[in-house]
């Protein structure tokens, strides 16, 4: 389950409080899955966290007396290691009635206690691998550019994006990240906008399938922490191999090694419960005819669905075609596709199966990205067609039309 995976990741990074919160949610979410691997994994992770000694109280948790620091011996496996009772958290935020009753008694649920006794604590950062990122080139290498920017942002104490898996991948992949120049907030803010768009769609379509085209090393699935969503990841074979080597396998995530332009992936999706498609950081690398054709096919196949993508203005696209050097060591790949706000507003007239189009605002960040004055200038008629944009398309349903930007 995604919640268990998040708990594991936070534990290995030393963020015990966050890990425990995710572990408790995993146990609660698997309450009706007794006897399954998901239930076992959730209980086992909660048990491991129960062995980490803490003294301070946290939101939703009460800790009995214990050492105030974690010695290295508590993070390494030891034959016959059993937890002391004083180390066990009394989880008052457990969601099941039985677990709440045991918590009120000042004791841990027996099922959890059993796993505590049976499961040694793994060494910190166990299984960490280092992979050479030079195996990616061309457009595929740009996933390392966006990964670096998300990871650097997530490491900040004032981060606008909580992306633990981006940090872990960034640290696991050996690469000359400095060739991309100074980190930018644009990629983490774009990721945050996507998170919000998906969350909004799932609020009205809780059983929908999310499709990530050209997903690269995006970690959206784990940021959303929704273990019930079906997820389809589509990317080229070299990127898929890297994802499979570094990211945990999830039962509801299906990965296809193919181009987003290969329509075969369409046959792997059941549109009955809704479909949300992400083309984050993808369309600008394709030709205009390819993009419009793909949008039209998606709209026809998935009525009532939505599509998120980002685009560049024409002047910047032309600059990349001449060779856009980020630094003296890196030239960005050509980005032939461009789309302005005015052009996006005309898409429903050009593509009949597209019901509506909306521009999504970039979430607020720091510095200029927090300035309301800057946003006001960027939305002036003489400026708005010369800046990048985030677009959310709605696909037509019979008798429904969401006009959005349509004039």
> Is the per-residue pLDDT at 61 higher than 50?
no
3-state secondary structure of 205: coil
Contact 355, 395 (CB under 8 A): yes
Percent of the chain residues topping a pLDDT of 90: 63
Helix and strand totals (H; E) in the chain: 15, 13
C-beta neighbour count of 330 within 10 angstroms = 16
Nearest-angstrom CA–CA distance, 290 and 284: 11
Strands 209-213 and 230-235 come out as parallel
Question: Per-residue pLDDT averaged across 392-403, rounded?
Answer: 76
Coil, strand, or helix at residue 404?
Answer: strand
pLDDT surpassing 80 at residue 90: no
The token duo for 315 is 């002047």
24, two tokens:
């408790």
* Tokens standing for residue 58: 């946290």
- Measured CA to CA, the distance from residue 156 to residue 158 in angstroms comes to 5
Q: Does residue 308 surpass a pLDDT of 80? A: yes
Positive or negative torsion for Cα 62, 66, 72, 74: negative
Residues 125-163: pLDDT tens digits? 334 457 888 889 899 999 999 999 999 999 999 999 999
C-alpha dihedral, 283 to 285 to 289 to 294, nearest 10°: -40
In this structure, whether the domain defined by 183-395 belongs to CATH 3.40.430.10 is answered with no
Over the stretch 184-228, which tens digit does the pLDDT of each residue have?
A: 999 999 999 999 999 999 999 999 999 999 999 999 999 999 989
For residue 17, how far is the Cα from the chain centroid?
21
Q: 116: pLDDT confidence band, cut at 50, 70 and 90?
A: very low
Mean pLDDT of 237-247: 94
The string of pLDDT tens digits covering residues 351-391 is 999 999 999 999 999 999 999 999 999 999 999 999 999 99
pLDDT band at 66, cuts 50/70/90? Answer: very low
Contact 192, 222 (CB under 8 A): no
Distance CA 192, CA 133 (A): 25
Percent of the chain whose pLDDT exceeds 70: 74
Supply the pTM of this predicted model.
0.70
Return the pLDDT at 125: 35
Amino acid 402: pLDDT: 54
In this predicted structure, what is the pLDDT of residue 27? 75
- Is residue 296 very low, low, confident or very high in pLDDT (cuts 50, 70, 90)? very high
Phi, psi values for residue 125, rounded to 5°: 60, 30
Interval 46-57: pLDDT, tens: 766 665 544 333
- Mean pLDDT across the chain: 80
HEC assignment per residue over 3-18: HHHHHHHHHHCCCHHH
Q: pLDDT-based confidence at 405, cuts 50/70/90?
A: low
Looking at residue 4, its pLDDT comes to: 78
CB of 289 closer than 8 Å to CB of 375:
no
**Is the backbone of residue 194 left (phi > 0), alpha (psi -120 to 50) or beta?**
alpha
Reported as type and span, the H/E element at residue 336 is none
pLDDT at 73: 27
Q: Where are the alpha helices (DSSP H) in 119-217?
A: 142-155, 164-172, 186-204
Ranges for all domains in the chain classified under CATH 3.40.50.150: 183-395
Q: What is the pLDDT of residues 245-268, one digit of tens each?
A: 999 999 999 999 999 999 999 999
| Contacts of residue 388, Cβ cutoff 8 Å, sequence gap at least 6 | 186, 310, 311, 312, 313, 316
């Amino acid at each position: 389950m995604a919640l268990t995976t998040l708990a594991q990741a936070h534990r290995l990074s030393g963020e015990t409080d966050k890990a425990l919160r995710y572990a408790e949610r995993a146990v609660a979410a698997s309450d009706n899955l007794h006897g399954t691997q998901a239930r076992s994994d959730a209980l086992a992770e909660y048990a491991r966290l129960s062995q980490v000694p803490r003294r301070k109280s946290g939101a939703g948790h009460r800790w009995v007396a214990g050492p105030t620091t974690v010695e290295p011996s508590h993070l390494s496996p030891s034959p016959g290691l059993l937890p002391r009772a004083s180390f066990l958290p009394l989880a008052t935020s457990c969601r099941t009635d039985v677990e709440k009753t045991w918590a009120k008694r000042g004791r841990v649920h027996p099922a959890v206690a059993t796993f505590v006794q049976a499961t040694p604590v793994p060494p910190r950062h166990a299984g960490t691998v280092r992979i050479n990122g030079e195996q990616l080139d061309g457009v595929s290498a740009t996933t390392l550019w966006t990964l670096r920017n998300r990871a650097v942002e997530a490491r900040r104490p004032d981060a606008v994006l909580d992306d633990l898996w981006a940090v872990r991948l960034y640290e696991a992949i050996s690469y000359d990240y400095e060739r991309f120049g100074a980190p930018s907030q644009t990629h983490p803010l774009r990721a945050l906008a996507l998170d919000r768009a998906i969350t909004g769609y799932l609020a009205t379509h809780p059983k929908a399938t999310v499709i990530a085209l050209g997903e690269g090393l995006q970690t959206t699935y784990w940021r959303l922490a929704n273990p019930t969503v079906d997820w389809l990841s589509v990317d080229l074979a070299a990127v898929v191999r890297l994802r499979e080597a570094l990211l945990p396998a999830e039962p509801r995530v299906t990965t296809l090694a193919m181009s987003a332009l290969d329509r075969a992936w369409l046959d792997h999706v059941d549109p009955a419960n809704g479909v949300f498609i992400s083309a984050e950081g993808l369309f600008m690398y394709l030709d205009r005819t390819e993009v419009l054709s793909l949008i039209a096919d998606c709209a026809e196949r998935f009525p009532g669905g939505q599509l998120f993508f980002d685009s560049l203005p024409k002047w910047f696209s032309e600059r990349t075609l001449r060779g856009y050097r980020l630094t003296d060591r890196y030239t960005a790949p050509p980005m032939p596709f461009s789309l302005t706000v005015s052009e996006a507003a005309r898409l429903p007239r050009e593509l009949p199966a597209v019901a509506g189009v909306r521009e999504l605002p970039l979430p607020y960040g720091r510095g200029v990205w927090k300035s309301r004055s800057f946003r006001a200038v960027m939305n002036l008629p003489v400026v708005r067609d010369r800046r990048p944009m985030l677009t959310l398309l709605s696909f037509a349903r019979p008798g429904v039309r969401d006009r959005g930007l349509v004039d």
